[in-house]
Amino acid sequence: MRLNAMARQHTVMAIFSYPDDMTRALKSLKQVKIPVDTVFSPIPQQELHDILGLQPSPVRYFTLFGALLGMVSGFALSIYAGLQWSFITSGKPVIAWIPFFVEGFELAILAGVLSTLLGMLINSRMPRVRLPAHYDPRFTEDKFGILVQCTAAEQTIVAALFKEAGAEEIHAAA
C-alpha cells in the first residue's frame, strides 16, 4: 500500500466546459485502468456514479439507526413515566401502548433527523477549514474537473486522454 502511494507522486488536473467531455475522459481513464482521485461537478449526475462504480451513501444507515434508537427511547420514556408516577386515566392501564406510539414516533423523527445530519457531516468530512490547493472556484459555477494521481510514466498518457476528450485546461496540480 505504501509503495503504490509513493509511486503515484504526480497530479494532473483537467477542467472541462461540458459534462459529456468529462464523462468521455472518465471512460477513457477507466479503459486504461488509471484510478481517478476526485471529480468536481456543479450538478449531480447519475452517470458519474455508474462510471466510477460509486456505492450509495452510508448516511441512510445513520438515519435508520437514529430512528430506531429514537423510537425505543420514546417508548422507554413513556413506560418509565407511566410506571414511576402511575398516571391512571379513565381506568386505562398504566402502560397503554397505543398512546405511547405518539412519543415513540416523535422521538424517532427527531433522532432520525439529528443522526442523518451527523452522518452527513461525518461522511462529507465537514467542516473543511481550508479548501484543497487544487480546487478551482469555477467548479461551483459552470466547469467540471477531474483530478488524477499518477506516476511519471502515466502523466503523458493522462494528459493525452484529457486533451482528446476535450479538456479546456490541463495542468499539474499542487
Domains of the chain plus CATH, in order, are 2-42+142-172 (3.30.70.120), 59-123 (no CATH)
Amino acid at 74: G
| Regions in the chain scoring below 50 on pLDDT | 1-3
- Separation in Å, CA 7 to CA 12, 112, 119, 151: 14, 43, 33, 6
Q: How far is CA 8 from CA 35, 123, 153, 155, in A?
A: 10, 25, 10, 10
Contacts of 115 (CB under 8 A, 6+ apart): 62, 63, 65, 66, 67, 69
* pLDDT the model gives residue 2: 40
Q: In the prediction, which pLDDT does 132 show? A: 80
What is the distance between the alpha carbons of residues 131 and 138, in angstroms, rounded to a whole number? Answer: 13
pLDDT at 154: 87
